[in-house]
């Protein structure tokens, strides 16, 4: 069966559940029509989101509305919105560039984004629990060492630097962000033991440019982010190798 996302909104945008007792009544009403197919749900203020398996999603949505009305008879509800869930990502969800996961685990430095507001909002949230959400072991991630960088090669290190700054593959151009990413790649490659001449060849620059990039001052968190990104990729690879064979 297909997974569907059902959005239920109160008429006039009035609060669905007024207080803890009504919220508990609301969430008790959600599993009944889904008959064991309820995957995820969240209710905030005037609307609720439900993800569920369904062969006939519009009938499922109708039954959900009826169940909520029985639990909360004072609530008037708009016709529910139903759409199929498309969730086939081309990469492991931990490495998906369209998610803030990379920023929350400090494997990327997205300009203007900080994990701090979420930490203030959810003070008990621990970074280890984020890994579990994307299907990885819920243990601390140790940044990759120089030997791991050396295994990636210069080209791999350049791609890691591009991912840290959310820049195009290969780091084309000369914008300030590209200069920072190239500097990060140079510093990491030198620490991994690669000669300046080889780094220059992969960056398509002269060796003296590599020396300038090596002297460029970077934010203190840049190199740890690159090493964390590599450690994350290694954890994804190790986890995939440990999955049982199927088919």
Q: Are residues 181 and 244 in the same domain?
A: yes
Helix (H, G, I), strand (E, B) or coil at 131: helix
- Regarding whether 116 and 39 lie in a shared domain, the answer is no
Q: Do both 80 and 98 map to the same domain?
A: no
Give the angle subtended at the CA of 225 by the CAs of 148 and 182, to the nearest 5°. 85
Residue 139 and residue 66 share a domain: no
Full domain range(s) for residue 223: 90-247
Residue 2 — φ and ψ, nearest 5°? Answer: -75, 150
- Give the alpha-carbon dihedral of 43, 49, 55, 57, to 10 degrees: 100
Rg (CA), the chain: 24
Chain position carrying tokens 């959900």:
64
pTM of the model: 0.70
Cα–Cα separations (whole angstroms), residue 138 to 126, 128, 170, 197: 10, 5, 32, 40
The C-alpha atoms of residue 236 and residue 238 are separated, in whole angstroms, by: 5
Residues 75 and 112 in one domain: no
Q: What is the pLDDT of residues 65-110, one digit of tens each?
A: 999 999 989 889 999 999 988 766 778 889 989 888 999 999 999 9
Residues in the chain where the model's pLDDT stays below 50: 243-247
177/164 Cα distance (integer angstroms)? 11
| Tokens linked to 122 | 């959810």
pLDDT at position 34:
86
Residue with tokens 């203030």: 120
155 and 189: one domain? yes
- The count of domains in the chain is 2
Judgement on whether residues 13 and 126 belong to the same structural domain of the protein: no
The domain boundary residue, chosen from 84, 99, 133: 84
Question: Alpha-carbon distance 193 to 137, whole Å?
Answer: 31
Q: 189 and 101: one domain?
A: yes
Query: What CATH number is given to the structural domain containing 59?
Result: 3.30.70.1290
Q: What pLDDT is stored for residue 15 in this prediction?
A: 83
Q: Are residues 220 and 130 in the same domain?
A: yes
- pLDDT tens digits for 100-117? 899 999 999 998 888 888
Among the candidates 56, 84, 112, a domain finishes at: 84
Which of 66, 84, 102 terminates a domain? The answer is 84
Are residue 135 and residue 58 in the same domain, yes or no? Answer: no
Listed residue (149, 151, 208) closest to 184, CA to CA: 149
One domain, residues 73 and 131? no
pLDDT in the model for residue 201:
96
Domain check: are 104 and 176 in the same one?
Answer: yes
CA distances in angstroms from 227 to 4, 99, 192, listed in the order given: 38, 19, 11
């Amino acid at each position: 069966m297909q997974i569907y996302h059902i959005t239920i909104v109160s008429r006039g945008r009035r609060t669905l559940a007024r207080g803890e007792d009504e919220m508990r009544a609301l969430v008790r009403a959600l599993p009944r029509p889904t008959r064991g197919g309820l995957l995820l749900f969240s209710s905030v203020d005037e609307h609720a989101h439900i993800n569920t398996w369904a062969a006939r999603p519009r009938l499922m949505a109708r039954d959900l509305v009826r169940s909520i009305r029985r639990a909360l008879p004072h609530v008037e509800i708009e016709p529910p919105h139903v759409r199929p869930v498309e969730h086939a990502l081309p990469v492991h969800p931990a490495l998906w560039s369209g998610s803030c996961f990379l920023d929350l685990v400090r494997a990327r430095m997205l300009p203007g984004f900080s994990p701090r507001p979420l930490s203030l909002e959810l003070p008990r949230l621990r970074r280890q629990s984020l890994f579990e959400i994307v299907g990885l072991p819920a243990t601390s991630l140790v940044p990759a060492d120089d030997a791991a960088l050396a295994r990636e090669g210069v080209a791999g290190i350049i791609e890691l630097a591009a991912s840290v700054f959310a820049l195009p593959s290969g780091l084309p151009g000369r914008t300030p962000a590209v200069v920072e990413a190239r500097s990060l790649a140079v510093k990491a490659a030198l620490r991994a033991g690669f000669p300046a001449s080889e780094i220059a060849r992969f960056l398509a620059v002269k060796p003296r440019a590599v020396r300038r990039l090596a002297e460029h001052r970077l934010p203190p968190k840049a190199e740890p982010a690159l090493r964390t990104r590599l450690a994350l990729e290694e954890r994804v690879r190790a986890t995939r190798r440990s999955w049982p064979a199927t088919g």
